[in-house]
A and B are shown apart, each in its own frame.
Chain A
Amino acid sequence: MDFDLNEDQRLLRDSVERLVTDRYGFEQRKAFLSQPDGFSREMWKQYAELGLLGVPFAEEHGGFGGGPVETMIVMEAFGRGLVVEPYLATVILGGGLIRYAGSEAQQAEMLPKIVGGEMLVAFAHVERHSRYELHNVATKAERDGDGWVLSGDKGVVLHGDSADCLLVTARVSGGQRDRDGIGLFLVRADTPGVTRRGYPTQDGLRAAEISFDRARAETVGEPGAVLPHIERVVDEAIAAICAESIGVMTEMQTTTVDYMKTRKQFGRAIGEFQALQHRAVDMYVDLEQARSMALYATVMASSDDAVARRLAASAAKVQIGRSGRKIGQETIQLHGGIAMTAEYKIGHYFKRMTMIDILFGDADRHLAEVAAHGSVFA
């Protein structure tokens, strides 16, 4: 039993935390959000220089050779700073899919570019009626000569507007909800037949609606049998956003306590009211429970037992969703009116937390998954 970071991991943590502290103040973040892509290309370059974009990739592709723990370290620090760059979209999802499902040639071509900060990738899987089901796919892939063409609509594609390459789920056979018959396809964003409509999300990040009209694509992995890889990457992504949410929640929890110690009403700090102290304690308990489950999902993310891995990811997503909602609502309530303003940082954490709950399925959805499997103790 060992919950400690090793020497390299501590160094990594110190360097990301320093970067976030130095370069990601509230005002700096605001300036990043107002850039044309909705994030900072400059920061992206910095991440590349620090090796952060290579954390999960093998050394042969220019990576750091890290695992889920290293990803967790980066994501938690990013959560504390509410980092808006497309790390989840490009490194965790895009890079992850290529790493697990891509051919050697695709890996050799794309991973070094991702690591070097020269390529942005987005994962297009949501459809209008798919809700949170990865295997609910109506977008069609058809053979066309020696290649493939895609037709259909994808929605809420994280950072889909700025991505150079899109990884798209599409059906090669079967009905809309069959687990078999799903393929993963690589489409350059400037391919004829691809139309993108980008927009901000509630938390200030970016997403896009993307439609494909016989857009030329190449396969990633074996068409029809790629779902297990996709699910694995999404489990890792869930572990990653759980870690991010720990950073988000920690910031909400500590900021609330600090505020309660300084805000005076009725001639004393509001933190002196015991009723409020207990509420702050409950936030802290919720945070620690969430942290524990984020660690659990992280450790389990590298398991080859797909069922155990999925179960851990779902269980963590439930805990994070619940703790996050509670802590988010309490941070607003205990701050009072000030927390409702866009000029104060805490509401932005609240909104990011709310969106993390929705990403890859909310707490209810994952609760149903866990319940369907039996027991987390089995």
Chain B
Amino acid sequence: MDLNFTPEEVAFRDEVRHFFRTEIPADIRAKHLGGEHATREEMVQTQRTMNANGYAVPHWPREWGGKDWTSVQLYLYQDEMQLAGVPHPLPFNVSMVGPVIAQFGNEAQKKRFLPRAANIDDWWCQGFSEPGAGSDLASLRTTARREGDTYVVNGQKTWTTLAQHADWLFCLVRTDMAAKKQEGISFILIDMKTKGITVRPIRTIDGGAEVNEVFLDEVVVPAENLVGQENKGWDYAKFLLGNERTGIARVGVSKARLARIRELASLERMGDIPLIEDRAFREKLAGVEIELKALEMTQLRVVAAERGQASGKPNPASSILKLKGSVLQQATNELLMEVVGPYAMPYVPEDDREGSNEPPIGPDYAAEAAPEYFNWRKISIYGGSNEIQRNIVAKAILGF
């Protein structure tokens, strides 16, 4: 029993910490820590800097830029990235489509797509969900019919995050109408410039426009863009969904936000004292911190158990991390909004928050508080809702 990292691991942590805090511009990190969404340019710039230094895709196979790090190293890398406020490399590229192509794609696809995905030369988006296929993803109805050496795709995807920036869409489509639900699905790569694709933004309740509907009308896709085998797409989708493991708890994000809450609570006044000196507030903050510490320990247990193991099979314990991690992120959002108090009420449109000549309304940290609280309700919905995670734990761990 030993809670300490080895000297090598400590040295590794210091190295990534130094990298993130010196190579990624402080203004990008400060903005991100403050709850603002990174712009397209900032995300591209950050990921390219990371890629140039071998930090964009360390979990990929070595020949495509991976680093063969241990699970502990991957953990430390994520944690340091989050604590420093570095925008994560685009998950659609590095955590989703990249690993699928690396594992199931052919050589030509790997050569064509992986280096560009790592360097964000292509921006990918995820076309899984449909209006009728959310939690029950396998009921999706978008079809691809084979015509010569092409597929012709018809249907509608929805909730497609950042499709407005995307060059490519990785998409689940139905290629066999007669087969059972899961068995007629294929995984296909679609160039967003292809004729017949319409992207319509969906405004979310926080005022942002990060999700979209994507309509596909007689979209002709070269058959060479099929990943793996026809009708085996469901296996690849499961691989993809089970892939984002240790990072999913985002403990570092919550730790960074708690530090910010402490800082803001020392600026806010509660009668004669700073809010941070109010006993009830301190106890509430401590309560969230304790739960987060427990989650960090749980995550470290998962990480330690995986050390030295080849990654591959999704670990049902990752459902615990998702469940608790999402709820604690939301708890920190609530706490931050409570710290801000009455000045959480003014609404400043996202476009006006940065680069505006108008002085802020109230303290300059207030504008993001409520929108962030609203926005992050999503984290218990997407990536397999918390109810679906509970179903997984009930089945895979408790044996019901």
Contacts and interface: CB of A to CB of B under 8 A. Distances in A.
Given A336-B381, A337-B381, A342-B205, A155 B374 contact: no
Contacts of B385: 333, 336
Interface string A231-275: 000000000000000000000000000000000111100000101
Interface stretch (B31-39, B70-78, B110-118, B263-271): B263-271
B270 A131 contact: yes
Given A156-B343, A341-B203, A358-B344, A333 B271 contact: no
A interface: dominant SS: mixed
A351 interface: yes
Interface in B362-400: 362-363, 370-371, 373-374, 377-378, 380-382, 385-387, 390
B280 interface: yes
Interface string B146-160: 000000000000110
Interface stretch (A1-9, A70-78, A201-209, A285-293): A201-209
Residue in B129, B342, B347 whose Cβ sees the most chain A Cβ within 10 Å: B342
B136 A201 contact: no
Nearest to B380: A333
A199 to B, nearest CB: 5
A143 interface: no
B348 interface: yes
A177 interface: yes
B92 interface: no
A156 B346 contact: yes
B202 interface: yes
B198 interface: no
Given A155-B342, A358-B344, A266 B371 contact: no
B223 interface: no
B345 interface: yes
- Size category of the binding interface on chain B: 35 or more
Given A275-B387, A358-B341, A337 B377 contact: no
Given A209-B361, A341-B204, A364-B280, A202 B345 contact: yes
A354 B373 contact: yes
A343 interface: yes
A362 interface: yes
A213 to B, nearest CB: 16
A347 B207 CA distance: 11
Interface string B313-348: 000000000000000001000100110011111111
Contact of A347 (B129, B345, B374): B374
B376 to A, nearest CB: 10
Contact of B272 (A177, A276, A362, A364): A177
A255 to B, nearest CB: 15
A201 B342 contact: no
Contact of A199 (B134, B346, B373): B346
B99 to A, nearest CB: 24
Contact of B381 (A126, A266, A340): A340
B284 A364 contact: yes
Contact of A332 (B269, B347, B377): B377
A64 interface: no
* Residue among B159, B345, B346, B371 with the highest chain A CB neighbour number at 10 A: B345
Interface in A307-364: 325, 329, 332-333, 336-337, 339-343, 347-348, 350-351, 354-355, 358, 362, 364
A187 to B, nearest CB: 21
A131 B370 contact: no
B19 interface: no
A325 B377 CA distance: 12
Interface string B347-369: 11000000000000111000000
A197 interface: yes
A193 interface: no
A202 B344 contact: yes
A201 B345 contact: yes
A354 to B, nearest CB: 7
B353 to A, nearest CB: 12
20 contacts: A128-B362, A131-B275, A156-B343, A199-B346, A201-B345, A202-B347, A207-B346, A275-B387, A276-B387, A333-B385, A333-B387, A336-B135, A339-B205, A342-B207, A347-B204, A354-B370, A354-B373, A358-B341, A358-B344, A362-B341
Given A267-B139, A342-B203, 6 more contacts: A177-B271, A202-B374, A333-B380, A337-B381, A350-B374, A354-B374
Q: Give me the 10 closest cross-chain CB pairs, A-B, nearest first.
A: A347-B205, A265-B136, A342-B203, A129-B269, A266-B136, A201-B345, A202-B370, A200-B347, A202-B347, A156-B342
Interface of A: 126, 128-129, 131-133, 136, 155-156, 177, 197, 199-202, 204, 207, 209, 264-267, 273, 275-276, 325, 329, 332-333, 336-337, 339-343, 347-348, 350-351, 354-355, 358, 362, 364, 367-368
